[in-house]
Amino acid sequence: MYLVCGEALFDCFSENEVGGQASKVNFKAIAGGSPFNVAVGLRRLGVNAALFAGLSTDYLGRRLQQVLCEEGVRTDYVLDFDAPTTLAMVALGANGSPHYSFRGEGCADRQLQLAHLPELNDEVRGLHIGSFSLVVQPIADTLLALVRRESGKRLVSLDPNVRLNPEPNIELWRSRIAELVKHADLIKVSDEDLSLLYPDGDPHSVIEGWLEHRCQLVFLTRGGQGATVFSRRHGSWSTPASLTVIADTVGAGDTFQAALIAWLTERQLDSVEGLKQLNREQIDAMLKFAIAAAALTCSKTGPDLPYRHQLEMR
């Protein structure tokens, strides 16, 4: 089982009507949040998953709980809080890329504290962390403590998924990511994340620095340009994106992340030692599987992550 840790919220997409009244804005709300999406994506790809998160006792929080149950994501590690549910207001750019504005201060998914850290047994094969839960308090320090405690015992994957709206202090992001990469075995990062974190840095140099710690693989996603993998043992190479008609790119990175973990799990390589055993051909197959999965999400509106049967030929 994989334990995914972090925020759970509702993405609110505006549905503007041509000629409609300016005083009225219609919204379509979809359950999401990067860790939430990864957990759901893992289940859809056939991997047992649980979410370690705080959920509100309000109406939207109960809906998030219902989604987890319907998707088969275990809720053993979910805690209830009498606080609001985070809302992410989403506007889509011309190329389908999302732009977020968060309403999350004091919300339930930020409330996890050190006292809430669970004890993990051997059933938990790995942990995944990412997005703004890495930097907003108190959950940020809670997740850092969890990763420090479990690093080396089970596979740890990281996706920075930088979001400056909930935390605009980029120096805080840099310092926290720099600490977390010391404990991660697998990292997925977008070119947009790197440009925000290190606008004057060379992406290859940054990633090579990450590989000097315990990390074995770093996947750099580049939107329509495909993705590049950096392996400590086998060097780096790129693969182009799959051809698809893009509806939007919401959830594509989360799909990519879930697909990487699913590929490893299917082959019983979802462990620290398993990652070290991968040869170049296996890593390339893993990369192509993740690219194909992300392309399916891009062909649909919102974070509608694919099911395993949709990738049977991959």
What b-and-e string marks burial along 286-310, b requiring 16 or more CB atoms within 10 Å of the CB?
bbbbbbbbbbbbbbbebbbbbebee
With a cut of 80, say whether residue 244 has pLDDT above it.
no
Rounded CA-CA distance 229/234 in Å is: 10
User: Among all chains, which residue has been given the structure tokens 């998030």?
Assistant: 64
Single out the residue of 10, 290, 311, 298 nearest to residue 159, CA to CA: 290
Q: What is the pLDDT of residue 89?
A: 86
When the pLDDT of each residue in the chain is averaged and rounded to a whole number, the result is 92
pLDDT 10s digits, 145-204 = 999 999 999 999 999 999 999 999 999 999 999 999 999 999 999 999 999 999 999 999
Residue 155, Cβ neighbours under 10 Å: how many? Answer: 27
Q: pLDDT tens digits, residue range 97-152?
A: 777 788 999 999 999 999 999 999 999 999 999 999 999 999 999 999 999 999 99
What is the average pLDDT across 20-32?
Answer: 81
Side-chain half-sphere CA neighbours of 113 within 13 A: 4
User: Can you tell me the distance from the alpha carbon of 102 to that of 115, in angstroms, rounded to the nearest whole number?
Assistant: 26
Backbone angles phi, psi at 149, to 5 degrees: -70, -35
Q: Residue 307 pLDDT > 70, yes or no? A: yes
pLDDT over 70 at 312, yes or no: yes
pLDDT at 313 over 60: no
CB under 8 Å to 242, separation ≥6 — which residues? 291, 292, 294, 295
**Res 226: pLDDT:** 92
Other beta carbons within 10 Å of 121: 7
Q: Where are the beta strands (DSSP E) in the chain?
A: 2-5, 9-15, 26-32, 49-56, 78-81, 87-92, 98-103, 126-130, 155-159, 186-190, 217-221, 227-231, 235-239
The structural domains of the chain, ordered by start, are 2-12+29-302 (3.40.1190.20)
Percentage of the chain with pLDDT > 90?
A: 79
The pLDDT of residue 162: 96
Whether the per-residue pLDDT at 314 is higher than 60: the answer is no
pLDDT at 301 over 80: no
